[in-house]
Amino acid sequence: MISNDPMHSTLSRHETIRQAPAGRNYSYYTLSNAHDSRVVISDLGANLISWFARDRYGRVQDILLGYPDVTGYETNPVYFGGLIGRWANRIEAARFSLDGVEYRVDSNEGRNHLHGGDAGFHLALWDAERDGDGLLMKYVSHEGDGGFPGTVRVAVRYCLDDQDALTIDFSATSDAPTPINLTSHPYFNLNGGTADIYDHILSIEADSYLTIDASAIPTGRAEVSGSAFDFRQPAPIGPRLAWPDPQLKLGHGFDHCYCLPPLLNEAEPREVATVFDPGSGRQLTVATTAPGLQFYSGNFLDGVQGRKPDPYRKHDGFCLEAQAFPNQINGPDKEAVILRPGQVFRQITRYALSLWP
């Protein structure tokens, strides 16, 4: 156990899980705080494995979905807890043009690129080290990985404070121009997996979202007002899933990116969403510096084997992924997602837990 000031989190490293194909060993790391909350992270994929937290009755439960053992994370087809890169979400037709050169990247969702493709960061073996009261993980993505240009050096720092806030601080540099869009992909269920997410009450601070086509590529920007997508006032997720909205049919539920309000301070995350579970009393607050927030209602979880005897079912978990906009590299604002030599990509996302009586 590595201990720091008692007012900050502590970090421990588990014994080896199993030998990795690269000849190294997988390890799990646990961040703990003064309230006995624990966040477990793997150096395989920099994945968030578990988050053990108390409910209003003092019961400790895991509020993250995940596989029963490390072998599931070696392929991770649903991206449980993954650190997603180089490109989170989708790139249409798995191609883009950059400085007059066309690039073709992995097409791993039909004709489109999704979540970094076959060389996604969620499948990589990261280097991990203590960094003050947090865990710092580093990875080098080489020129040509997944079809992307440039060698990119990525770092992510995880820190769990005594207010039960997990801060994820991303940074990256590149030796050549390349698209960059990083996110964390935890699946939450605030009741600890005792039921689905239908009773979870969601709010999102956004006036608009991106509509999609049948392959989940954005087609335009729409106002949330008067639609199933209006969570400016808190509303339970389950009834909204039942709305007869064509966009919900295309996405098989919610799988859409919300357009967040501008930042007042580029270095300071602003609160953009809350989710409250009436049964447990847990509330999750999301703050980020990213321009977009993908709300995914776990539409393709049917039959995925998790840590409990019965497989997961549709809508057993939800994701709130802070990121740039899907397919932005092929849009008019593409320059905002290009990382050039001498620049530093930064993004901070914070997931904070609280309890309501």
Instruction: With respect to residue 322, please indicate whether it lies within any of the assigned structural domains.
Output: yes
pLDDT-derived band at 9, boundaries 50, 70, 90: low
Residue listed under structure tokens 């106002």: 223
pLDDT digits (tens, 9 = 90+) for 269-291: 999 999 999 999 999 999 999 99
DSSP sequence for 20-52: -TTS-B--EEEEE-TT--EEEEESBTT-EEEEE
Q: In which band, very low, low, confident or very high, does the pLDDT at 150 lie, cut at 50, 70 and 90?
A: very high
237, 200 contact by CB (below 8 A): yes
The CATH number of the domain holding residue 336 is 2.70.98.10
Could you tell me if residue 5 is inside a domain? no
pLDDT band at 15; cut points 50, 70, 90: low
Confidence category of residue 33, pLDDT binned at 50, 70, 90 = very high
**What confidence tens digit (pLDDT) does each residue in 151-163 have?**
999 999 999 999 9
**Residue range(s) defining the domain that contains residue 121:** 10-355
165 within a domain of the structure (yes/no)? yes
Give a yes or no: residue 3 inside a domain. no
Q: What is the DSSP string of 230-264?
A: --SS-EEHHHHHTS--HHHHHHTS-EEEEEPPPPS
Tally of domains within the chain: 1
Cα 164 to the center of its chain, rounded Å? 18
Q: Is 275 within a domain? A: yes
pLDDT in tens, 46-85: 999 999 999 999 999 999 999 999 999 999 999 999 999 9
Provide the annotated active-site residues: 185, 321
Identify the pLDDT of residue 3.
32
Q: Is residue 4 included in any domain, yes or no? A: no
The verdict on residue 2 lying in a domain is: no
- From residue 351, alpha-carbon distances to 27, 38, 152, 283 in Å are 23, 13, 26, 10
Q: What is the pTM of this model?
A: 0.95
Residue 136 lies in a domain: yes
